[in-house]
């Protein structure tokens, strides 16, 4: 696993995020536009040619493999390729997670790119978001943990639109952390999940204090 150190200042992180977050938002917008576009086939083909040009320009200098999760020496994480919260990853749902002791939460608006059953959120996307939230809640004391078991119960269909996701630690037992999470719309909970998160053997916190959360956006580091 890639835990490389990249020793940059918080100001430099903000500077880089200010460049990549709007780019990622534009790519998300592109994905949404492609799904919902009703322009002609000729216009779709012209759009492909334009997009291919942009891709070729981005590929002139590429990192091998995935982005990984670099950390600063102050343990600010930069998981910018992450499938659930990566600041550079337009496939990730638009999540801005806030964290406090044993708790992680976010509001989000899910559009056409996250559809499963017509008009509703794909069950895998719901599970992805809740998996991320349980991981973030379990690690607010700085101890990283892997999802060992995630049990997801779909109570009723989740309509696309404005949603809230929330995860809370309910207990700890040795290296295991138990977390309960919910996905809710305006009418209440649509999906609930229970997770057993496992901290890796032999991992010790680098300081006695809680670590800052992995930074995905500037706001994340302010909690």
Ligand X SMILES: CCCCC/C=C\C/C=C\C/C=C\C/C=C\CCCC(=O)SCCNC(=O)CCNC(=O)[C@H](O)C(C)(C)COP(=O)(O)OP(=O)(O)OC[C@H]1O[C@@H](n2cnc3c(N)ncnc32)[C@H](O)[C@@H]1OP(=O)(O)O
Residues that bind ligand X (CB under 6 A): 3, 71, 75, 131-132, 135-136, 139, 142, 144, 146-149, 174-176, 196, 198, 200-201, 211, 214
Residue 40 CB, nearest distance to ligand X (Å)? Answer: 42
Q: Is the Cβ of residue 134 or residue 163 nearer to ligand X in the bound state?
A: 134
Q: Is the Cβ of residue 3 or residue 51 nearer to ligand X in the bound state?
A: 3
What is the C-alpha to C-alpha distance for residues 161 and 217, in angstroms, rounded to an integer? 22
Closest CA to 69 of 98, 94, 89: 89
What is the C-alpha to C-alpha distance for residues 1 and 55, in angstroms, rounded to an integer? 28
Residue 107 CB, nearest distance to ligand X (Å)? Answer: 18
Q: Is the Cβ of residue 86 or residue 113 nearer to ligand X in the bound state?
A: 86
Quick one: which H or E segment has residue 110? strand 103-110
What is the C-alpha to C-alpha distance for residues 72 and 67, in angstroms, rounded to an integer? 15
- Closest residue to ligand X using C-beta atoms: 135
What is the C-alpha to C-alpha distance for residues 90 and 27, in angstroms, rounded to an integer? 6
Residue 46 CB, nearest distance to ligand X (Å)? Answer: 39
Residue 10 CB, nearest distance to ligand X (Å)? Answer: 16
């Amino acid at each position: 696993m890639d835990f490389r150190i990249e020793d940059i200042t918080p100001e430099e992180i903000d500077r880089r995020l200010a460049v990549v977050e709007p780019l990622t938002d534009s790519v998300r917008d592109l994905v949404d536009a492609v799904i919902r576009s009703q322009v002609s086939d000729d216009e779709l083909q012209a759009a492909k040619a334009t997009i291919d040009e942009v891709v070729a320009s981005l590929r002139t200098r590429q990192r091998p493999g995935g982005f990984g999760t670099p950390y600063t020496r102050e343990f600010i994480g930069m998981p910018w390729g992450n499938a659930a919260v990566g600041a550079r990853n337009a496939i990730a749902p638009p999540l801005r997670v806030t964290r406090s002791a044993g708790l992680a939460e976010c509001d989000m608006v899910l559009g056409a790119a996250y559809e499963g059953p017509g008009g509703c959120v794909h069950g895998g996307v719901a599970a992805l978001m809740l998996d991320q939230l349980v991981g973030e809640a379990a690690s607010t004391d700085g101890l990283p943990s892997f999802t060992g078991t995630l049990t997801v119960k779909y109570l009723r269909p989740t309509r696309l639109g404005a949603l809230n996701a929330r995860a809370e630690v309910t207990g700890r037992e040795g290296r295991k952390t138990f977390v309960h999470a919910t996905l809710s719309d305006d009418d209440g909970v649509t999906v609930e999940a229970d997770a057993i998160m496992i901290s890796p053997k032999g991992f010790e916190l680098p300081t006695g204090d809680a670590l800052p959360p992995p930074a995905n956006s500037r706001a994340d580091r302010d909690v």
